Structure 1
Amino acid sequence: MTGAPSSCADLRIALFSGNYNYVRDGANQALNRLVGYLLRQGAAVRVYAPVVEEPAFPPTGDLVGVPSFAIPTRAEYRIPLGLFGRVKADLAAFAPNVVHVSSPDPAAHRAVSWARGHGLPVLASVHTRFETYLRYYNLAALEPVMVAMLRRFYRRCDALVAPSESMAQVLREQRMNYDIDIWSRGVDREIFHPGRRDMAWRQGLGVADDEVVIGFFSRLVMEKGLDVFSDAIDELNRRGVKHRVLVVGDGPAREWFAGRLPQALFTGFLGGGELARAVASMDVLFFPSVTETFGNVTLEAMACRLPVVVSEATGSESLVDHGRSGRMIRPGAIRQFADALQGYVENPALRAEHGAAGEARSLDFSWDRINQTVADTYLRLIRQRASRG
């Protein structure tokens, strides 16, 4: 390739991920969608990430396995190590013109060093607020240390992409980097829409048509706010507010969550149309997580015409219009969460009004337009690097 790149077809992207497809989550589904889009535009993409014998779903594009080890307390997740032997040789043979890192792990650190040594630009995508995870493992005192470590990593990159303007502002305030574009998230409207609502399916779970279902769907891990969810449901029960709880998802905290909410309905993991049917068959989403940088769960619920009750946190602030499409509550404010939920349970007209507003907002999120933003950022960084000689 000669001259400055002008289109996706000129791109050769080395993408490093700590979890590309071995456990399903919102971040890696966004990465796979991005790779699929880039490949359709003619770009060359090579993905470097840990691999396992039975991944959650097939990878999009070419995936090169990176040596890794299981996290001792969370064995389903793996930490990719540095660039060794065959991986480094494969990277050199691929000859990328831009490197994309998506998690601040050892392999990504080495990839940044490799790129800088070869005069290549590096883009980092921010998918989660890693520093907030420490709060759920009684390690909140170490949060400043984690922030400092993240700052060192992200400031070695040429630019960042964040999934929401609220998250970008947090990154600026933390002095992570000052070149930050928005790589938002989209919603598949062919899958998530109000027409998926299925009263017969609800009845099969033992839910009466006149019962109001408070729903939760996500990977079941403590950092999704399961404790806050449970406490708020307890408060509704103390008030005598009639409702049903429907939990969709699986994960290491499922047993804890089921023990905390013995009357709740647990479906286990659902995907695709089955997930959309379950979401559309809820009446309100309650998702108190503060670790999200965007809130795919919130957007998918909004697309299904559900009012949402969420924490005032990065991601949600860019999606939810408080008092119009849902309620945003101060993190951990149990009584206020319960107040918001009670309002929706007892007022069907309010549920309908806020659900319709949320669905209208969800129409703004087109995957192709969103992913082109990342491609444009790659091209800009390559041109800027070339102009500096």
Structure 2
Amino acid sequence: MGRPMEMTDLRIALVSGNYNYVRDGANQALNRLVGYLLRQGAAVRVYSPTVDEPAFPPTGDLVSVPSFAIPGRPEYRFPIALSPRVRRDLAAFAPNVVHVASPDTVSHRAVSWARARQVPVLASVHTRFETYFRYYNMAWFEPVMEAILRRFYRRCDALVAPSESMAQVLRDQRMNYDVGIWSRGVDREIFNPGRRDPEWRRGLGIADDDVVIGFLGRLVMEKGLDVFSDTIDELNRRGVPHKVLVVGEGPARDWFEARLPGAVFAGFQGGADLGRAVASMDVLFNPSITETFGNVTLEAMACARPVVAAAATGSESLVDDGASGRLIRPGAIHQFAEALRAYVEHGDLRTRHGAAGEARAMEFSWDRINQAVADTYLRLIRQRAGARRQG
């Protein structure tokens, strides 16, 4: 028997559809994971589409894979091939585990490459891709997409999902029988109640006694912008005084601005500026059902802000309904409005539920969370070696 495998023995090939060219919660988590793995002495090589001016510098070594801009959403790129150049690079790197982070063509090829060489594969699930079609009048395609995803994920040795609620969805959909949790952490330096800035609020035309309902995220229709807007209309009809603060950018910004004429649009905020923006809200409203975790929900909770969210994967694992926020049936406009009205009109309720959310957010430490992924790599390598010995 040889010595037990350690972190420094790991050689991880990470294949991602978007590692750093457009910033999102998924690739922020991937970059944090790579940074942690490198600090522990593991070797990591990342394979992803690249652009001339990415949203942020990549953590670790990044190898560009061939891709093209997606029609209608040109900011995103579709990886098209594991080219001979990339295959040579993979072979030279000689990974002992492959991690795929998106169910695209290149990840399919990477899984085949790994299986042919008896290298275990871990897939991380970041987005409920099958739900996107609801926002483009293509709900009929959802079961087809689910079948495509099932074929992909069953060829992997194990999956990790960001929340227990999402892991249960994957089990129910029979995507794989080895599903673990790779949760998300929150940076308490950036996200805490002390970041609240009345001066910044005043600069946006928000008075000190205005109760601010916040939206945080990329401005695309699948984030539930229609439900958000309809709910704000309902609050206005009921005469509930409030301000709306929208933090984020995206292709649907013009549509959203036209739907919310009285809202304040702060644009993209990052780092400490984002912490200030979230802490300067009074309640976060997150109607989206496409997230597998809900980073924005956790960030608001860390800033001691109550959250009104759709009762969907992600938020369900974070928000304690009636204690740190409200979980409402997706699309239920009147119930969303009623939950928000309670927070607008009762400052003591906001304070109490915000404090409960902050306490919950303290449980999420990035290093502990990322070590769980490293432990999964080591387990899969051990299992593969054991299967080889028995075979």
TM above 0.5, yes or no, is: yes
| Distance in 2 between residues matched to 1:231 and 1:4, nearest whole Å | 61
Does 2:346 match 1:347? yes
Partner of 1:248: 247
Deviations 1:115-172 (A, max 9, x none): 0000000000000100000001110011000000000000000000000000000000
TM-score (normalizing by structure 1): 0.99
* Deviation of the 1:3 alpha carbon: 4.2
Partner of 1:78: 77
Write the mapping of 1:129-278 to structure 2, written as runs, cut at 5 A.
129-278=128-277
| Distance in 2 between residues matched to 1:21 and 1:291, nearest whole Å | 20
* Deviation of the 1:70 alpha carbon: 1.0
Partner of 2:36: 37
Does 2:13 match 1:14? yes
* Deviation of the 1:7 alpha carbon: 1.6
* Deviation of the 1:302 alpha carbon: 0.2
| Distance in 2 between residues matched to 1:313 and 1:194, nearest whole Å | 26
| Distance in 2 between residues matched to 1:89 and 1:244, nearest whole Å | 55
Write the mapping of 1:312-351 to structure 2, written as runs, cut at 5 A.
312-351=311-350
* Deviation of the 1:5 alpha carbon: 5.2
SS in 2 for 1:228: helix
| Distance in 2 between residues matched to 1:101 and 1:290, nearest whole Å | 23
| Distance in 2 between residues matched to 1:282 and 1:119, nearest whole Å | 51
Partner of 2:371: 372
Deviations 1:69-126 (A, max 9, x none): 1110211111111211110000000000000000000000000000000000000000
Partner of 2:381: 382
Q: Which is further off, 79-88 or 23-32?
A: 79-88
* Deviation of the 1:345 alpha carbon: 0.2
| Distance in 1 between residues matched to 2:112 and 2:81, nearest whole Å | 11
| Distance in 1 between residues matched to 2:303 and 2:29, nearest whole Å | 19
Partner of 1:124: 123
The 8 Å contact of residues 307 and 325 in structure 1, kept in 2 or not, is answered as: yes
| Distance in 2 between residues matched to 1:5 and 1:292, nearest whole Å | 37
| Distance in 2 between residues matched to 1:344 and 1:178, nearest whole Å | 41
Find runs of 4+ consecutive structure 1 residues off by over 6 angstroms: none
Give the letter for the 1:88 counterpart.
Answer: R
| Distance in 2 between residues matched to 1:195 and 1:129, nearest whole Å | 34
| Distance in 1 between residues matched to 2:274 and 2:83, nearest whole Å | 39
| Distance in 2 between residues matched to 1:210 and 1:83, nearest whole Å | 56
Percent of aligned pairs with the same amino acid = 78
| Distance in 2 between residues matched to 1:328 and 1:4, nearest whole Å | 49
* Deviation of the 1:246 alpha carbon: 0.2
| Distance in 2 between residues matched to 1:246 and 1:127, nearest whole Å | 26
| Distance in 2 between residues matched to 1:307 and 1:83, nearest whole Å | 45
TM-score (normalizing by structure 2): 0.98
* Deviation of the 1:6 alpha carbon: 2.1
| Distance in 1 between residues matched to 2:369 and 2:123, nearest whole Å | 16
Partner of 2:362: 363
Deviations 1:238-290 (A, max 9, x none): 00000000000000111110110011000110100001001000000001000
Q: Which is further off, 5-14 or 150-159?
A: 5-14
Give the letter for the 2:19 counterpart.
Answer: Y
Partner of 1:98: 97
The 8 Å contact of residues 46 and 64 in structure 1, kept in 2 or not, is answered as: yes
SS in 1 for 2:308: strand
The 8 Å contact of residues 248 and 267 in structure 1, kept in 2 or not, is answered as: yes
RMSD after superposition:
0.8
| Count of residues in correspondence between the two structures | 388
| Distance in 2 between residues matched to 1:258 and 1:8, nearest whole Å | 49
Deviations 1:5-64 (A, max 9, x none): 522111000000000000000000000000000000000000000000000000000000
| Distance in 2 between residues matched to 1:3 and 1:245, nearest whole Å | 61
The 8 Å contact of residues 5 and 382 in structure 1, kept in 2 or not, is answered as: no
Closer, same or farther: CA 4–149 of 1 in aligned 2, 3 Å: farther
The 8 Å contact of residues 320 and 327 in structure 1, kept in 2 or not, is answered as: yes
* Deviation of the 1:221 alpha carbon: 0.7
SS in 1 for 2:148: helix
SS in 1 for 2:22: coil
* Deviation of the 1:4 alpha carbon: 6.4
